[in-house]
């Protein structure tokens, strides 16, 4: 099995953990935990594959679903009081998944000979869509729509990977550097609370009577 495959499984496990921890915060039953873990872990990749019109990655490999179910069940068994887990731990787990999937999504799109700009978009979709579905199901504003640096970190990972491949850096090294770059930016944003400026329209006109 290749490095890409193992990184993909690791990313699925990390995002499944993120979904399971979110489910614990909202006191979902075990089936709900598995569902939230699954949509977080494979939601982005599913949308990517549908857009690229290629076989959906988890449909032909049961290892992905097995990884999701095992991660969800282990989280239920080992994490007894999710409410006591710091919110930052959930953000860090999500950051790892974001960095991994952004680069892996970009790599997969490039493997189907899509233009680099489209490949980077596919990377962002792979990294953020699962978390968006998770947050919507939990009635939380998705992180990509907040001020936090989130999608920008995914875009950075995809751009680094494309740039390094263009410079003919070996793919494995390019992936590691790109993942580290995206992860570093996201973790820095979490630690220092970095954010983009908010778009705000201030209407000082008196109300219409």
Distance CA 121, CA 125 (A): 6
Paired with 195 in beta bridges are: 148
pLDDT at 132 over 90: yes
Distance CA 28, CA 151 (A): 28
State the CB neighbour count (10 A cutoff) for residue 188.
14
Q: Which two tokens stand for residue 165?
A: 């491949």
Q: Which domain holds residue 118?
A: 3-192
Q: Does some domain include residue 12? A: yes
Q: Does some domain include residue 160? A: yes
For the chain, how long is the longest CA-to-CA vector?
70
Asked if 120 contacts 89 with a C-beta cutoff of 8 angstroms, the reply is: no
State the CB neighbour count (10 A cutoff) for residue 105.
33
Q: Please indicate whether residue 202 or residue 129 has the higher confidence score (pLDDT).
A: 129
Q: Does some domain include residue 207? A: no
Residues with Cβ within 8 Å of residue 27, at least 6 apart in sequence: none
Q: What pLDDT does 96 receive? A: 94
Residue 142: band (very low, low, confident or very high) from pLDDT cuts 50, 70, 90: confident
**C-alpha closest to that of 157 among 94, 102, 78:** 102
Mean pLDDT of 116-124: 97
Mean pLDDT of 121-145: 92
Residue 78: band (very low, low, confident or very high) from pLDDT cuts 50, 70, 90: confident
Q: Does some domain include residue 120? A: yes
- H or E segment to which residue 120 belongs: helix 116-137
Distance CA 87, CA 202 (A): 32
Number of domains forming the structure of the chain:
1
Q: What pLDDT does 84 receive? A: 63
Residue 207: band (very low, low, confident or very high) from pLDDT cuts 50, 70, 90: low
Q: What pLDDT does 42 receive? A: 97
pLDDT at 208 over 70: no
Mean pLDDT of 3-25: 92
> Within 13 A of 134's CA, how many CA atoms are on the CB side?
34
What is the per-residue pLDDT across 154-204, written as a single tens digit (0 to 9) for each?
A: 999 999 999 999 999 999 999 999 999 999 999 999 989 888 777 777 766
Instruction: Return the CA Rg of the chain.
Output: 18
Residue 141: band (very low, low, confident or very high) from pLDDT cuts 50, 70, 90: confident
Asked if 178 contacts 103 with a C-beta cutoff of 8 angstroms, the reply is: yes
Q: Does some domain include residue 199? A: no
Q: Does some domain include residue 115? A: yes
**C-alpha closest to that of 109 among 36, 25, 47:** 47
What is the per-residue pLDDT across 19-70, written as a single tens digit (0 to 9) for each?
A: 999 998 888 999 999 999 999 999 999 999 999 999 999 999 999 999 999 9
Coil, strand, or helix at residue 195?
Answer: strand
Q: Does some domain include residue 202? A: no
Q: Does some domain include residue 133? A: yes
Q: What pLDDT does 145 receive? A: 80
Task: Print burial letters for 140-175: b (CB count within 10 Å at least 16), e (below 16).
Answer: eebbbeeebbbbbbbbbbbbbbbebbeeeeebeebb
Least confident interval from 48-57, 123-132, 146-155: 146-155
* Percent of the chain whose pLDDT exceeds 70: 92
Distance CA 146, CA 76 (A): 29
């Amino acid at each position: 099995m290749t490095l890409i495959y193992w990184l993909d499984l690791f990313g699925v496990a990390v995002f499944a953990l993120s979904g399971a921890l979110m489910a614990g915060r909202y006191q979902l039953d075990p089936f709900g935990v598995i569902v939230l873990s699954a949509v977080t872990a494979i939601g982005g990749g599913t949308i990517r594959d549908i857009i690229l019109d290629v076989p959906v990655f988890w449909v032909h490999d049961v290892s992905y679903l097995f990884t999701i179910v095992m991660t969800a069940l282990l989280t239920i068994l080992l994490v007894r009081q999710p409410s006591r887990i710091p919110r930052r731990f959930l953000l860090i787990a999500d950051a790892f998944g974001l960095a991994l999937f952004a680069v892996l999504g970009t790599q997969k799109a490039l493997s189907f000979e899509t233009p680099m700009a489209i490949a980077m978009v596919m990377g962002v979709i792979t990294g953020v869509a699962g978390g968006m579905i998770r947050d919507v199901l939990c009635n939380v504003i998705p992180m990509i729509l907040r001020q936090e640096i989130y999608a920008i970190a995914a875009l950075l990972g995809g751009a680094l990977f494309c740039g390094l491949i263009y410079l003919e850096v070996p793919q494995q090294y390019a992936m590691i550097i790109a993942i580290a770059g995206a992860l570093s930016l996201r973790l820095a944003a979490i630690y220092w609370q970095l954010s983009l400026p908010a778009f705000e329209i201030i209407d000082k006109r008196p109300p219409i009577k």
